[in-house]
Amino acid sequence: MMGGKRHNLEGGRRAGAERRGRVIFSGGGPSSPPLLNLFFTKQGRLFLDCLPPGYPSLRCVSLPPHLFCFCTSSTPPPPPPSLCSLCVWGLSNMVPPNVATIMAAGVAALTLRFVSKRKAKSDHGERVEDEELEDGESPTVGVVPVTVAWDRIECILRDKRGNVIKRLLQGVSGEAKAGKLLAIMGPSGSGKTTLLNVLAGQLAASPRLRLTGSLSINGRPFSKSKHRVAYVRQEDLFFSQLTVRETLALAAELQLPKTWKPNARERYVQELLYRLGLVSCADTIVGDAKVRGISGGEKKRLSIACELIASPSIIFADEPTTGLDAFQAERVMETLRKLAEEGHTVVCSIHQPRGSIYSKFDDLILLSSGAVVYAGPAADHALKYFADLGHKCPEHTNPAEYFADLISIDYSSSDNEIAARKKVADLVEAFASKQKKIGRDNPLTALDLLMDPDDEKFIHDTVVSNRSGFLWQFQMLLRRAWRQTTRDKSTNRVRGTMSITSALIFGSIFWRMGRSQTSIQDRMGLLQVAAINTAMSALTKTVNVFPKERAIVQREQAKGSYSLAPYLIAKLVAEAPVSAAFPLMFGAVVYPMTRLNPSLQRFLTFSGVMTVEAFAASAMGLTVGAIAPTTEAALALGPSLMTVFIVFGGYYVNSDNTPTIFRWIPKVSLIRWAFQALSINEFKGLTFDVKNSFDLQDGDQVLERLSFGGKNVQNAVNQELRIALFWYWLTYVLLKRNKAKFQVLEAPSKVTPHELAVEDV
Ligand SMILES: Nc1ncnc2c1ncn2[C@@H]1O[C@H](COP(=O)(O)OP(=O)(O)OP(=O)(O)O)[C@@H](O)[C@H]1O
């Protein structure tokens, strides 16, 4: 299915031609320009030009880092991925063949390859693009053409007792090839996403699933392949406050090798913006539900652009048009179509596309209840196939709609359902027997099998992510976190307003507390509500946003863009000034209104304690966000946990009276340590009006009653800092452990009769 006409890597060709340096071999018949040119680029890389006379269009194929090849052909086969196969191809295709010249070129090339291979070994780990790019020079990222083939994929869902409930995929086989756009279509629940996840090697692991079958890339088992796979998921997740350009630039900075100069990276990002049609919104923020940003279609194309940075050979897209209007859906599919034309292997699942979108597909897989109804070319071939089976698509009807109706189960009545199920079962049977008769539709091409195992090494070298050092990652992630925090004006405005409003409310309630005996209770009450208010607002803000951010970070981590430690530290550093601002605002209003201990030193300590407490609560929010599967779950879990800490916060239950089994809770309660520090800061040295002999004379007596006697502020703040560090550490461990786990594909096995009995549940 490799489309020669569409195999166009103009960028690479141009860049290579511009870099032509010393020619070391030239010849190949009477033609001008010569049939074959072997030359070194200015950077010392070896290039081979094959120019059969009369065929002006050049094509390029990525060869090992030290070898590049440009070639054309009248009946273009896929460009061969190794010099040996190039020579085989050249001998059989060039007209008129000048055997001696080609052989000479082949021998020269192989000799040089042997020499340069040794050099390549010493350069192990570098990418083609790793060489220093000169200013003004275009970056080139080649696409390695690949064929993905899968055979007898079975996915079985079992209940807790191990009984089979459903066959999600039933012996699915097929192929996706370079330069082709393959669409997986079928009614809702037919298994499109499941199949796509299996092909991308990203089916979420579950003890209730059993996955068998074989999956290969260019004839090698998928698990051993080093080709890069991009997966554009249904949900587009981004940092909402970054612009499109910033999002792409950061992804480029984190994923491209450091040897790319800033200019080259910028040009590459600009090129991606053009390719994906994102130039007009390049400087618009991505936005979210609160702040309007780019459109849904633009978000989807930005997702694709981010996936393209690492130059993947294979692109999977799960329902890329879902939620988009007709125009945006068309543009997204046009983008995928172009990527296929550039040599990528593109596979997408799609529900029911309109006619203009359907016409973009090269190949089609139709699924119904997890079984293949049709797999093959999308256009006339599919229509003819169904017409031969007696299902002729009426004229002027969108084939996609026709196929969807044909393979859907009609649940309007039991008779209709039985008839529809029988029709689908017949279609599945018809396709299975046809497949058995003809074997696989398109077996792997001879060239795929000819591939030199060393080329796999090259592929690894060209696509492996070149992760930068800690400091570099920290710097990049700090910039992103800072932008996200400071630009989120609506959230910051709400937090600021809430801080001042609650300070005004508490200030009014505890207005100008005097030194009477009753003011002692008021002071304790105010300090307790201040501690609760600060902790709660920091906690809810964090649990509101972190689960979403966690999903982005986990996706980026899966790509190997950066490590967890620089991410968490950058987040902490970037958010610290903003997080500190709100407790300070609260303190600045409530302190003078209520006339807490009137000294600048005490006011500064009060603000400092509140700030440290806000950090601890925020860190606890991160942990909750790392555990909870959704924002809603995090919002339920976070405040419940905090309520326990409030109860044991030192005001409601005296720590001396705490039941033994709960003694540990006040020790880990961030409310308790904040309350203790605030109380010591407030009461130490304060005197009260005394009217009766049993009245408390000074703050030290109050502290004794609270069981805080003999303690100091510093100690309480240290405990609070330890609690904050504990939550940060726990978040790190949880994020590290909660990496996505994928279902292992077991070798194909016979489905047991018992399992077959549950077909089409
Ligand atoms: N891990 C799982 N556990 C239980 N059921 C599952 C699991 N994964 C998939 N399924 C079920 O398998 C069937 C196929 O799901 P899948 O998401 O692949 O369908 P789909 O064709 O993509 O549907 P849609 O077009 O609605 O997204 C559904 O009935 C789904 O509920």
DSSP 595-661: T-S--HHHHHHHHHHHHHHHHHHHHHHHHHHHH-SSHHHHHHHHHHHHHHHHHTSSSSS-GGGS-GG
Ligand 1 nearest atom to the CA of residue 206, by list position: 1
Gyration radius of the chain over CA positions: 33
Q: Name the pTM for this structure.
A: 0.73
Interacting residues of 118 by C-beta distance below 8 A, sequence separation 6+: none
> How close is the Cα of 240 to the center of ligand 1, in Å?
29
Question: Which atom of ligand 1 lies at the shortest distance from residue 351's CA?
Answer: 25
In the reported structure, the alpha carbon of residue 192 is separated from the centroid of ligand 1 by a whole-number distance in angstroms of: 8
What is the phi/psi pair of residue 243, to 5°? -80, 170
The dihedrals phi and psi of 647, each to the nearest 5 degrees, come to: -60, -40
Q: Which helix (H) or strand (E) covers residue 494, if one does?
A: helix 489-509
Write phi, then psi, for 573 (nearest 5 degrees). -65, -45
Q: Whose CA is nearest to atom 26 of ligand 1?
A: 188
Q: Which residues does residue 151 pair with via DSSP β-bridges, in sequence order?
A: 214
Q: DSSP 3-state helix, strand, coil percentages of the chain (rounded to 5)? A: 50, 15, 35
The Cα 363–Cα 184 span in angstroms is 9
CA nearest ligand 1 atom 9, residue: 194
Per-residue pLDDT, 438: 59
Nearest CA to ligand 1 atom 4: 157
Alpha-carbon distances, residue 372 vs 185, 407, 583 (angstroms): 10, 10, 60
Ligand 1 centre and the CA of 223: distance in Å?
24
Contact 364/376 with Cβ under 8 angstroms?
yes
Of ligand 1's listed atoms, the one at least distance from the Cα of 195 is 18
Atom 5 in ligand 1: residue holding the nearest Cα = 157
Residue 606: exposure state from Cβ atoms within 10 A (0-12, 13-18, ≥19): buried
The structure tokens listed for 18 are 């511009």
Please give the Cα distance from 112 to 64 (Å, whole number): 12
Structure tokens at 31: 């033609």
Angle (CA) 27 30 34, round 5°: 40
| φ/ψ (deg, to 5) at 8 | -125, 115
Q: Is the bond preceding residue 96 a cis peptide, omega within 30 degrees?
A: yes
Could you tell me if 624 and 544 are in contact, meaning their C-beta atoms sit under 8 angstroms apart? no
Neighbours of 264 (CB within 10 A): 22
Dmax over CA atoms of the chain, in Å, equals 120
Residue 188 Cα to ligand 1 middle (Å): 8
Mutate to test the pocket of ligand 1, among 192, 194, 761 (most ligand atoms within 8 A of CB): 194
Pick the residue whose CA is nearest to atom 20 on ligand 1.
189
**Which ligand 1 atom sits nearest the alpha carbon of residue 191?**
18
How far away, in angstroms, is 195 Cα from ligand 1 center?
A: 10
**Residues 39-64: pLDDT tens digits?**
444 444 444 544 433 333 333 333 33
Q: List the strands of the sheet with 345-350, edge to edge.
A: 229-232, 314-318, 345-350, 181-185, 363-368, 371-377
Nearest-CA neighbor of 126 among 265, 263, 17, 260? Answer: 260
Quick one: pLDDT at residue 104?
A: 52
Q: How far apart are CA 585 and CA 556, in angstroms?
A: 36
C-alpha 573/C-alpha 567 separation (Å) is 10
- Token look-up 């083609």 returns 128
How is residue 548 written in tokens? 């979403």
Which atom of ligand 1 lies at the shortest distance from residue 190's CA? 21
Distance of CA 237 to the CA centre of its chain: 8
Residue 168 φ/ψ, nearest 5 degrees: -70, -35
| Ligand 1-lining residues (CB < 6 angstroms) | 157, 168, 186, 188-194, 206, 209, 351
- Closest by CA to 627, choosing from 743, 742, 536, 732, is 732
Q: For ligand 1, what atom is nearest to the CA of residue 209? A: 1
- Residue 75 tokens read as 């009946």
Residues 6+ apart with CB under 8 A from 698: 683, 685, 686, 687, 688
What span, in angstroms and rounded, lies between the C-alpha atoms of 149 and 162? 30
Residue 392 to residues 360, 662, 686: CA-CA distances in angstroms?
A: 21, 74, 93
Q: At 175, is the secondary structure helix, strand, or coil?
A: strand
Omega within 30 of 0 (cis) for the link into 33: yes
Cα–Cα distances in angstroms (integers) from residue 145 to residues 66, 180, 459, in the given order: 18, 11, 10
- Cα separation, 169 vs 370, in Å, equals 4
Residue from 157, 167, 168, 234 whose mutation best tests the ligand 1 pocket (most atoms within 8 A of CB): 168
The two tokens of residue 470 are: 């800690």
Residue nearest to atom 10 of ligand 1 (CA): 168
| Interatomic CA distance for residues 287 and 415, integer angstroms | 49
| Alpha-helical segments (H) within 49-98 | 83-93
Whose CA is closest to atom 3 on ligand 1? 157
| Residue 507, amino acid | G
Distance 167 CA to ligand 1 centre (A): 11
Measure the CA–CA gap between 521 and 38, rounded to whole angstroms: 91
**pLDDT less than 70: residues of the chain:** 1-142, 437-468, 749-761
Nearest CA, atom 31, ligand 1: 189
Q: Is 412 helix (H, G, I), strand (E, B) or coil?
A: coil
CB-CB contact of 564 with 557 (8 Å): yes
What ipTM was reported for this prediction? 0.96
For the record, the structure tokens of 706 come out as 């609270």
Distance from the alpha carbon of residue 191 to the mean position of ligand 1, in angstroms: 6
Which amino acid, residue 486?
T
* CA proximity to 407, closest of 376, 436, 370, 441: 370
The contacts of residue 202 (CB under 8 Å, 6+ apart) are: 231, 740, 742
Do 355 and 190 meet the contact criterion of CB atoms below 8 Å apart?
A: no
- Burial of residue 408 (number of CB atoms within 10 Å: 0-12, 13-18, 19+): middle
Q: What is the pLDDT of residue 750?
A: 56
Q: How far is the CA of 194 from the centre of ligand 1 (A)?
A: 6
Helices vs strands, H then E, count in the chain: 25, 15
